[in-house]
Structure 1
Amino acid sequence: MTRWLWLGVVLSVGSGRTGLLRTVLMASGAAIGVFMVLAGLAGATVAASQRERALARTPAQVENSAAELRMLEVEDGIGPRVLRRTAVAGATAGSPRPPGLDAYPDPGELVVSPALADLIRVDPRAADRFPQRIVGLIGPSGLVAPDELRAYVGVPAGDPMLGGDETFFRDNAVVGFGRPLASAHGSAYDTSPDVFTPGRWAAAAFALFVLVPFGTFLATCARLSATTRDRRIAALRLLGVSARQATLVNVVETGVVATAGGVLGTAVFTVLAPLSQGWRIGRLHWYAADIALPLGWIAPVLAGTVLFAVLVGVIATRPARSGPLAVRRGGPARRPAGWRLLPLVCGLGTVVFAATDAAPLNPSGRGVVFISGLLVTGLSLPLVLPLLAYWAAVAVGRIPNVPVWLELATARIRHTPGVAPRLVASLAVTLFVIGMGSLGAALFTNDRGLSNDRHSPLYQVIGRDPALVAALRGIPGTAISQYGTVQVSVDGRGDAALVADCADITALHTFDAGQSCVDGETYWLTSPAGSAAPGPRPGTDVTAENGVHIPAPRHTLNLMSRYEIGHDNPLLITRQSPIAADLPIRPQLAWLIAADRDSVDRAARVVAARAPAAFLSGDLGVHSGLDSDLLLTLLVTGLSISLVLGMGSFAAAAVDRAVERRRDNATLAVVGVRPAVITSGETGFGVLPLVAGVGTACAATIVVGASLATVLDIPTGAVFDRIAPILLLGVGATAVGLLLIAVPAWLTQRITAEHLRRP
């Protein structure tokens, strides 16, 4: 037993330069893969750490509590970056404090995160929002990430937004910290916009973009120099070594190399992790302590890597152990069966079927069928490549007067149709995943070309300071529409009437042809959705809540909203009407209409500076939560990892193939075949399957994209605009693949008769 273990160790080191190259390639593949997996796992630890800190600082708030401490968290933004400010009132020496905050600010004072303090010094957009005096910085324990923009702003205890005499919000009394995450006021998201929450999204992305490509990469590396290793095992069997002993030699050889590569990848990660605090991936930042992985996570990754490599090697060398004579003689492989094409046809057929109007499916069922066909299509690409490569070789071989090198390449493909496609399978799948991932990102984000959603220029001003609305009226590029309500009784039924100027109403609504609003009048209101007042009813009794009789309107306005807001109020009382002065008008709502993002930012500066507890409710254009920016970041990161692993797998296999073919090419060199012909033959042997694989992946992407356009009922061109870069990437991958095949084949042309005697 010991000698077979020792033999496996010796073989793992490699014999000669060729064996050493194979060992280096396999170890490097394991190192890169382990590093990528550990980096993916580190993303989960970062997310978990960020979530814990966000939970720890979330206030526990109760309604109508006697607690003096009041807080209101507001979401704002500086450009695309989210900014969260927390208005604080009523803090005492005994009030509970969130992590990272040494003391609460008094009115007119400010405690900010270091990143926000730096931004206030250099960016007027931040400085205008916070005219208060900075009295402290938030510590790391109170921040999700080093670059977070966060502020605690002191406001007077009587602020109506925080529980003053005219309370707007009644649930802001704080009794402690450490509660489930909640969205800030003004946020467009239901969860905390600060945290990349670990969950099914992260797990799915990790499995798809890291584990699957790593498995393909490691499987390729475990089968480097497959022909040479199979012949070596077959030779051992023919010399009388048992199948069990040959398996042991192979296990030790593969395990030693994979272990060395895994340890190297772990060491590189361990060195780089503490240095990564200043790095960033998109808008994702982290503290160095967050990225540290426990030994209990690293050990399974190393063990799994080694076991997977060993398992691939054992399964792949089974023919050499069971039929050593056939392996040593290099017999031809069986022709690929035609059934390999069936899964691809079924997958694309399912996608096309889901997109047709004839499919008896509801929208949910159509989506399930479409996604099922998409998955089957992706999984069938590696399966169909040997058949496509064989067909391509047969078709090219039938062309009369083909060059010798091309005839040589096609003959080799027909002899071993499964070898060359194995080099390009991961690359083809990667291109298909990139294409589908890009479309998926567009669907889940605010891609205006693939969505009917449009940015609304309407914002509601949430605040109780009349001077604030007056200040907003003077901002260039904006308009203010303001109205109040009064409780009325219409024929004994309670309702609320609008009180506004005609200009306020026309800014938000349009009327039917021939209708107009005149200040000083009252109107019945209807809407396309219908209302309680279908038209003029002169005899209707309308009474305000204070008992004032309101004359029944003589005219009707049919309101059609400009911005997808509506009212079901029965009537409109213009402020200039004689009866308006006698009515108890309730607090007025104010709407801001902004011409562009710059106008919104100018308005947000005024709101934050004059009333820190007030805010604009609407789309501020910030990138937060699981939005387009974060999804795109995750997608690009994942696909970059996939592409690196896919190209790495292809490069390692191409280099190894060129080295391994030297024995067979030596036969041609000895009989006088020129090196250029041999190099061209090797290049053609790899390029034909490469073109077939990349072409099939691009064709599948086009079919799926066209079907997706039909499913979404959007122009096909909008989808193809997103696919075009992927098709160009396919062309680039083909060119790179050509170089990765041709260059090693040319550099390994120092062939002598000595190579004929090498296994």
Structure 2
Amino acid sequence: MTGGTALGVVVLLTALAVPGMLGHRAERTDARTVVCAGADGRPAAGCGLVGQSVYDSWQDRPLQRQLVVAADSSVAPPPGLPALPRPGELILSPALKKLYDAPGNQTLRDRLPGRPSAVITPPGLLQPDELLAYIGVDRTPGAYVQHAAGYGPQAHGASGPAVVSQAGAIADTRKNTVTLVVGIIAVLTPVLLFLASCARLSAATRDRRLAALRLLGLTPRQTQVVNAGETAVVSALGVVLGLAVFEALLPAASSWTVAGYGWFSADLQPPLWQTALLLLAVPVLAVCVGAVAVRRATGVTRAARVDALPKPLSSWRLVPLVLGAALSGYAALSPPPETGDPNTAMLLVTGAGLLLTFVGVATATALIARSIGVLLGRLARSIAVLLGARRLEVEAATATRVVTGLVLLVFAGTLGQSVFASVESRAGAESWARLMAPGVLQGPAATAEGLPVPESVLRGVPGVREVVPVRRLHTPLPDALQDAPAATAGAGDLPQTPVAMHSAVVLSCSGLATVIKQPPQDCQEGTAYWLPRPNGGTAPATTAPLTFTAPEQPGAAVTVAPPVRTLAVPDPYAVSDTSPLAADILLPPDTPGLSGVPAPVETYLVATDGKASTYEALNAAVARMDPSLTVSVPDIALEAQYQFPLFRALLVLGTLLTLVISFATIAVGSIDRAIERRREVALQAVVGVPLPTMRRAQLVQILVPYGAGIALALALAVLAGRAYGRTGGTQGGIPLGSFAAIAGIAVLGAVVAGLSSLPALGRRVKAEFLHRE
């Protein structure tokens, strides 16, 4: 009981440390976030800042560069910095300083102009291995104004306005409070079940001695006091041991990372009140469970037989499962929302179905296992199978209790992976990064001040195969709309007939085939095409000539005949409204009259060899022109790109902790079950049942409810995941890799459950044991 309690306390403290760690991370982010000041001295969004944040990566590790203009000496530096860097100076994080000094990292040094003058201390970092640099520059490129500003809430006092964050790509963890609480509860539930199992096991080994105390004259209340005192002392020792183990592991935790997320050891320390509450709650839980577990040994002597058959299971156990499966099936088969936004009523149906299904898996597994036991009892001829089947028929709830925790874990894990895959596929359907050809990157076409980036800057980097400039034209607004004053034009002034607006991307067939993963079919050079829509829309029925002008240059125009065919692009999302190639029409570069329309290049799509060194060299090349420029993978789902690693990290951490606890619960529950069945084992030994037969019967009692519960959990979790995905407009489901991993966990759980039940049957059955039982 002491060892089990210590393990549970370590996991509980780890779970309690996660919200604190994320809270400290958010506080550190706020403390170093730029606060800008407008002309009136108040914080304002969009004004010129002390610095500009630039986000990219170095060898698949996030890299943040903060461009600092220390125009006012009154600006206090952010935490971790002795002072703001002057122009030409660098202040680097320890991890970045180590990479900066490495001999082979010249491309990294090219992206960090200046000389290192200091090192950022831990208060200014989110995690020990963070790559962060403050770069002193003469002026922030593209800034509007340069008024005094500061960093974090301290820039305007504790009662001042909220911080205006310029770090748009940083995930705001406060928005994920509900998700975090649900995850913590999901982790704490199996831990509490495990602690209860440990207390029950300890009570089962004390029932005979407590019964002897009753026979010696102690009252039921006195016997319970004795049991409570023993349980409290032993569980308190386990709590102290678990706290000591957690504190011993804490210093080394700063060197660990989960899916790229790290932490400082001090940030993992739970608040004192939570630790004190845990020190009190665990012994109280153990005492309560222990009192219930030994109530038969300490209660008033009754005439009823203690070995009477238990009460049969009620069919009402199936009600939550049937209702949950029906609601989830209805949501999974319903048509997706037309607008793409989840329907509130359907979300309620999906949530209710999920909750009822979760409860139904726990309650109905025993009844299903009992039905299987009855069927095996009628069909089987093996003595071992008959013994196991009869025990399932009589005590299905008790036998199922051993594996219920892992069955619920498999359900929760499958559902979590299914929901995560649904959300990821929802963003991935719009993410051009998944539709682009391997090695294609997106490069800037202009600096922050509007100066064009020459194509030769990108083409001259080794490893670059092709540079495809993307130019875009659009049809101009009618004169009536252009001349209408914006201040006086009302709804009645607008034309009643819809105005057809079109955009065109100037690109050759070979250029389009170079940058997208699935090239267009039957694309003829020199021919204009309508581009397909992801929703299956058709080309507009128009025969009138189309006039296109360049953005912000309405003087020059080109008139073309409308295309007659729609280009066959295998995946229309590659040219959808959210991709760098978004347009209605594909115009070839040699279109007559197009040379007279000076359309600027919007962006460059760079086809590379896919090597990390080429990516780093491209970033260094554009950073030499403007330190605020980066080369990136085209991906419009930026928020999902930065949120997914956090969700994935929490999901992996929670799954690992819950998995350890569930396996431990299975082992404890199997031992507990074996202790409860000592009398049955002795009875079978007396009538001559061989030990191997008893072992096989024990495996039947464990593996039948386990297999039934796992199959039920997997099927219903996939159904619930599809229901969730359908409410958001996707198919749901889980990736095959995640399904294989969960199936492997289930098989491992079956092995643990089966093997942990055998040692109690392995000892020699002596006459003394038979006499005592």
Shorter chain as denominator, the TM-score bin is 0.7 to 0.9
Aligned to 2:367: 387
Aligned to 2:700: 684
Aligned to 1:132: 114
Q: CA deviation at 1:219?
A: 1.7
Q: CA deviation at 1:459?
A: 5.5
Larger mean Cα displacement after TM superposition, 484-493 or 117-126: 484-493
CA–CA distance in 2 between the matches of 1:109 and 1:485?
42
Q: Is 2:626 the counterpart of 1:611?
A: yes
- Pair 506,566 (structure 1): closer, same or farther in 2 beyond 3 Å: farther
Aligned to 1:292: 269
Q: Under a length normalisation based on structure 2, what TM-score does the superposition of the two structures give?
A: 0.77
Give the alignment partner of residue 260 of structure 1, picking from 237, 255, 262: 237
Asked whether the equivalents of residues 53 and 142 of structure 1 are also in contact (C-alpha less than 8 Å), the reply is yes
Aligned to 1:115: 95
| RMSD of equivalent CA atoms | 4.7
Give the alignment partner of residue 440 of structure 1, picking from 419, 427, 435: 419
CA–CA distance in 1 between the matches of 2:512 and 2:645?
31
Q: CA deviation at 1:317?
A: 4.4
Q: Which letter maps to 2:11? A: M
CA–CA distance in 1 between the matches of 2:227 and 2:175?
43
Give the alignment partner of residue 768 of structure 2, picking from 749, 754, 759: 754
- Pair 345,503 (structure 1): closer, same or farther in 2 beyond 3 Å: closer
CA–CA distance in 2 between the matches of 1:108 and 1:530?
55
1:649-728 equivalent positions in 2, closer than 5 A: 649-670=665-686, 672-704=688-720, 722-728=738-744
Give the alignment partner of residue 152 of structure 1, picking from 134, 140, 147: 134
Q: CA deviation at 1:633?
A: 1.7
1:285-364 equivalent positions in 2, closer than 5 A: 285-318=262-295, 324-325=301-302, 329-357=306-334, 363-364=343-344
Q: Is 2:754 the counterpart of 1:738?
A: yes
- Pair 384,566 (structure 1): closer, same or farther in 2 beyond 3 Å: closer
Q: Is 2:645 the counterpart of 1:629?
A: yes
CA–CA distance in 2 between the matches of 1:212 and 1:486?
58
Asked whether the equivalents of residues 489 and 495 of structure 1 are also in contact (C-alpha less than 8 Å), the reply is no
Aligned to 1:427: 406
Asked whether the equivalents of residues 473 and 505 of structure 2 are also in contact (C-alpha less than 8 Å), the reply is no
Asked whether the equivalents of residues 193 and 625 of structure 1 are also in contact (C-alpha less than 8 Å), the reply is no
Asked whether the equivalents of residues 445 and 627 of structure 1 are also in contact (C-alpha less than 8 Å), the reply is no
Asked whether the equivalents of residues 69 and 91 of structure 1 are also in contact (C-alpha less than 8 Å), the reply is no
Q: CA deviation at 1:562?
A: 3.2
Q: Which letter maps to 2:622? A: V
Give the match's secondary structure for 1:398. helix
- Pair 705,536 (structure 1): closer, same or farther in 2 beyond 3 Å: closer
Give the match's secondary structure for 1:83. strand
1:405-554 equivalent positions in 2, closer than 5 A: 405-445=384-424, 451=429, 453-455=431-433, 458=442, 460-461=444-445, 463=447, 464-467=450-453, 470-475=456-461, 476-481=464-469, 491=479, 493-494=481-482, 535-536=544-545, 554=559
Q: Which letter maps to 1:336? A: L
- Pair 467,434 (structure 1): closer, same or farther in 2 beyond 3 Å: closer
Q: CA deviation at 1:426?
A: 0.6
CA–CA distance in 1 between the matches of 2:297 and 2:185?
33
Q: Which letter maps to 1:645? A: I
CA–CA distance in 1 between the matches of 2:317 and 2:551?
78
Aligned to 1:204: 182
1:543-582 equivalent positions in 2, closer than 5 A: 554-556=559-561, 562=575, 564=577
CA–CA distance in 1 between the matches of 2:321 and 2:20?
38
- Pair 373,477 (structure 1): closer, same or farther in 2 beyond 3 Å: farther
Larger mean Cα displacement after TM superposition, 621-630 or 367-376: 621-630
Asked whether the equivalents of residues 381 and 429 of structure 1 are also in contact (C-alpha less than 8 Å), the reply is yes
CA–CA distance in 1 between the matches of 2:95 and 2:523?
54
- Pair 545,730 (structure 1): closer, same or farther in 2 beyond 3 Å: closer
Q: CA deviation at 1:645?
A: 0.8
CA–CA distance in 1 between the matches of 2:148 and 2:543?
47
Q: Which letter maps to 2:133? A: A
In the alignment, structure 1 segments of 5+ residues that lack a partner are: 1-25, 162-167, 519-524
In the alignment, structure 2 segments of 5+ residues that lack a partner are: 42-46, 154-161, 437-441, 485-500, 514-519, 568-573
For residues 636-687 of structure 1, what are the alpha-carbon distances to aligned partners after superposition, in whole Å with 9 as ceiling and x for unaligned? Answer: 1101111111110010121233345445433444555433333333333333
1:39-58 equivalent positions in 2, closer than 5 A: 39-58=14-33
Aligned to 1:178: 152
- Pair 400,723 (structure 1): closer, same or farther in 2 beyond 3 Å: closer
Aligned to 2:125: 143
For residues 321-377 of structure 1, what are the alpha-carbon distances to aligned partners after superposition, in whole Å with 9 as ceiling and x for unaligned? Answer: 556436773222111112212222222222112222489997443343233222222
Larger mean Cα displacement after TM superposition, 93-102 or 465-474: 465-474
Asked whether the equivalents of residues 488 and 543 of structure 1 are also in contact (C-alpha less than 8 Å), the reply is no
- Pair 394,64 (structure 1): closer, same or farther in 2 beyond 3 Å: same
- Pair 399,492 (structure 1): closer, same or farther in 2 beyond 3 Å: closer
CA–CA distance in 2 between the matches of 1:454 and 1:545?
27
Give the match's secondary structure for 2:77. coil
Give the alignment partner of residue 12 of structure 2, picking from 26, 32, 37: 37
CA–CA distance in 2 between the matches of 1:126 and 1:360?
47
Larger mean Cα displacement after TM superposition, 714-723 or 424-433: 714-723
Q: Which letter maps to 1:445? A: E
- Pair 136,500 (structure 1): closer, same or farther in 2 beyond 3 Å: farther
CA–CA distance in 2 between the matches of 1:732 and 1:506?
52
Q: CA deviation at 1:444?
A: 3.1
Asked whether the equivalents of residues 669 and 751 of structure 1 are also in contact (C-alpha less than 8 Å), the reply is yes
CA–CA distance in 2 between the matches of 1:181 and 1:696?
49
Larger mean Cα displacement after TM superposition, 462-471 or 642-651: 462-471
Aligned to 1:283: 260
Give the alignment partner of residue 37 of structure 2, picking from 32, 55, 62: 62
Give the match's secondary structure for 1:84. strand
Q: Which letter maps to 1:50? A: R
Give the match's secondary structure for 2:403. helix
Larger mean Cα displacement after TM superposition, 602-611 or 140-149: 602-611
Q: CA deviation at 1:134?
A: 2.3
Q: CA deviation at 1:447?
A: 8.4
Q: Which letter maps to 1:57? A: R
Give the match's secondary structure for 1:325. coil
For residues 685-715 of structure 1, what are the alpha-carbon distances to aligned partners after superposition, in whole Å with 9 as ceiling and x for unaligned? Answer: 3333333333332343454466667777767
For residues 273-307 of structure 1, what are the alpha-carbon distances to aligned partners after superposition, in whole Å with 9 as ceiling and x for unaligned? Answer: 12322222231212222222343221101211122
CA–CA distance in 2 between the matches of 1:286 and 1:623?
22
For residues 81-139 of structure 1, what are the alpha-carbon distances to aligned partners after superposition, in whole Å with 9 as ceiling and x for unaligned? Answer: 22111112344554432222223334443221111122232545534423533222212
Q: Which letter maps to 1:175? A: A
CA–CA distance in 2 between the matches of 1:385 and 1:718?
23
CA–CA distance in 2 between the matches of 1:108 and 1:246?
78
Give the alignment partner of residue 374 of structure 1, picking from 345, 348, 354: 354
Q: Which letter maps to 1:471? A: V
Give the match's secondary structure for 2:603. strand
Aligned to 2:227: 250
For residues 514-560 of structure 1, what are the alpha-carbon distances to aligned partners after superposition, in whole Å with 9 as ceiling and x for unaligned? Answer: 99699xxxxxx9x99999x995599x9x99999x976x755456799
- Pair 461,38 (structure 1): closer, same or farther in 2 beyond 3 Å: farther
Aligned to 1:595: 607
Q: Which letter maps to 1:605? A: A
Give the match's secondary structure for 2:663. helix
Q: Is 2:200 the counterpart of 1:223?
A: yes
Q: CA deviation at 1:205?
A: 1.1
Asked whether the equivalents of residues 503 and 583 of structure 2 are also in contact (C-alpha less than 8 Å), the reply is no
Give the alignment partner of residue 85 of structure 1, picking from 57, 65, 68: 65
Q: Under a length normalisation based on structure 1, what TM-score does the superposition of the two structures give?
A: 0.78
